Each structure stands twice: as C-alpha cells, then as structure tokens.
Amino acid sequence: MMEHVNFLISILPELWKGLLVSLELSAGALLLGLIIGLPVSLARTYGKGIIKAIAVAYIELIRGTPMVVQLVIIYFGLPDIGIVLDRIPAAIIALGINSSAYQAEYFRGAILSIDSGQMMAAEAIGMSKRQAVLNIILPQALRLVLPPWSNELVYMIKYTSVAFLIAVPELMARGKMIISWTFKPLEVLFWVGVIYVIVLSLVAKIVDTIEAKISIPGFQMSRESF
C-alpha cells in the first residue's frame, strides 16, 4: 500500500505540470473556437449566397474529419508550404478550429430555437436586423447555448489528449513519459484517468453553478440530451 502511495507522490508533480498544459490547451482552443465559431454560425444562419456556402462547407468539412487528421495537417502538413508552427500553437489552432465548427452548430441551434416572433417584435419597434440580432436574438441564444457549450468544454479537456501525438507535454504525454521510465503502465494510466475524472467533475460542478447564477425564468437549462 505504502509503495503505491509513494509511487503516486513521486509522479504527481510531473502529472500536475501536464494537467496545467492540458488546461492551457483547452482554454486556448475554446476561446479560438468561440472567436471563429460565432461569426461562422451567424454567416450560416443569416448569411446569403457565397458567404453562407463557405460557412456550411467549413462546418461540414471540419465535423466530417477526425481531429487527429486536422492536427497532423496543421503540424506536419503546413511546413510543406512554409508554415512552421511550434507544438503548442499548432495544437491550440487545430483544437480551436475543430471546436469552432461544433460551437458554430451549437450557436446556430440556439438561434434557430428562438421564436420568430422575437425578431418580428424587435423589427416592429424599429430595430434594424443587426440591432435585433445583437440585442434580442444573441442574448437569448447565448443563454440557451450554455448547456451544449459546457459539454464542449468537457469534450475539449478530454480531446486535448490527442496533442500528445505531436509530443505536446500535456497530461497524457507526461503519463506516457513516466511509463517509459517506470515500466508501470497500468498504474500510471490509472492515476492519469483519476485526474481526468476529478478535473472533469470539478469543471461540471463549476459550470452548473454558473448556469444557476445566470439563469432567467423561462429558459430551460437542461443539460441532458433530450
């Protein structure tokens, strides 16, 4: 028993450093995903012609391909045309682009779920379409999008583990490193798993608290699918 505890204590600092990198990647990717995803969803929802077509193609292509493929295209592929990225920026960009397509669809779903009467009423008091989207539609959509968005947060923290494939020293990669020194794969993986479970439970708790804080009567905030 003591032996296992000592082992855990010996690997914990390394895993902690890995966790911090994982969280850094997640935060960067989510933010990038939001910055790209929101305009893309508006382009798909309200855009016309070529703008809409580009947004649709972007979303479908990203969602139709594995994240690993996107990652290797950006990290191993782009140098072929002279774009060389460091590991961490490459991982954040790949994860962020991936997330943007999903976030765009969450936003679109939320926007479409808002009753058309809201737009009509906004126009009836003289708002321009832009004002109506900004002041009436988006504030409601952003609240509705929170549950799927927090799922995306959880997914993202898990999926940062693919960054290990381009040797970003995140949690998974540090685990693999420790395995290669200690030759205790199952024990190390067990603790890596435990850390993921704890962190994701904490994140889910925090998100729940935030949702409860900003909830408004009349907006259902159910997180479960269905």
Partner 1 sequence: MGINEHTWKVISAIPYLLKGVGMTLKITFLALIFGAFFGLLLALARVYGGSISRRFAIVYSRIIRSLPLLVILFMLYYLASEILDLSPFLAVVLALAVHTSAYQSEIFRGSIQSISKGQMEAALALGMSKFQCVLYIILPQALRRALPYWSNEAAIVLKDSALAYVLGIAELMRRGEYVVARSSQSALLTYLIIGIIYFILTSVLTRSLLYAEKKLRIPC
Partner 2 sequence: MAKQILRIENLRKKYGDTEVLKGVSLTVEEGEVVVIIGPSGTGKSTLLRCINHLTTADSGDIYLENQKIERGKTDLNKVRQQIGMVFQDFNLFNHLTAIQNVSIGLVKVKKMDKKKAMEKAYKELARVGLEDKINHYPAELSGGQKQRVAIARALAMDPKIMLFDEPTSALDPELIGEVLAVMKDLAMAGMTMIVVSHELGFARDAADRIVFLENGVVSEIGTPEKIFYNPEKQRTKEFISKITQLHTSGNNQESAGL
**Which residue from 128, 201, 202, 210 is in contact with partner 2, where contact means CB under 8 A?**
128
Q: Which span sits near partner 2 by CB under 8 A: 42-50, 64-72, 92-100, 139-147?
A: 139-147
One-letter amino acid at 76 equals: F
158 makes contact with partner 1 (CB under 8 A): yes
* Interacting positions 194-223 with partner 2 (CB under 8 A): 216-219
Determine the distance from the C-alpha atom of residue 120 to the mean position of all C-alpha atoms in its chain, rounded to a whole number: 33
Q: Which span sits near partner 1 by CB under 8 A: 32-40, 124-132, 152-160, 213-221?
A: 152-160
Closer CB to partner 2, 49 or 217, in the complex: 217
Listed in sequence order, the residues at least 6 apart from 199 whose beta carbon sits closer than 8 Å to its beta carbon are: 19, 23, 157
20 makes contact with partner 1 (CB under 8 A): no
Residue with tokens 């669809």, as numbered in its chain: 105
One-letter amino acid at 52 equals: K
Question: Using CA atoms, how far apart are residues 19 and 194, in angstroms rounded to an integer?
Answer: 12
Per partner kind, with CB cut-offs from 5 to 8 A, the member of partner 1, partner 2, none near residue 73 is partner 1
Question: Using CA atoms, how far apart are residues 187 and 191, in angstroms rounded to an integer?
Answer: 7
* Cα separations in angstroms, 57 against 42, 60, 72: 14, 5, 20
By rule CB under 8 A, what string of x and - marks binding of each residue 76-105 to partner 1? xxxxxx------------------------
User: Token pair of 80, please?
Assistant: 């072929």
Q: Interface with partner 1 by CB under 8 A: which residues?
A: 61, 63-70, 72-73, 76-81, 154, 158-159, 161-162, 164-165, 172, 175-176, 185-186, 189-190, 192-193, 196-197, 200-201, 224-226
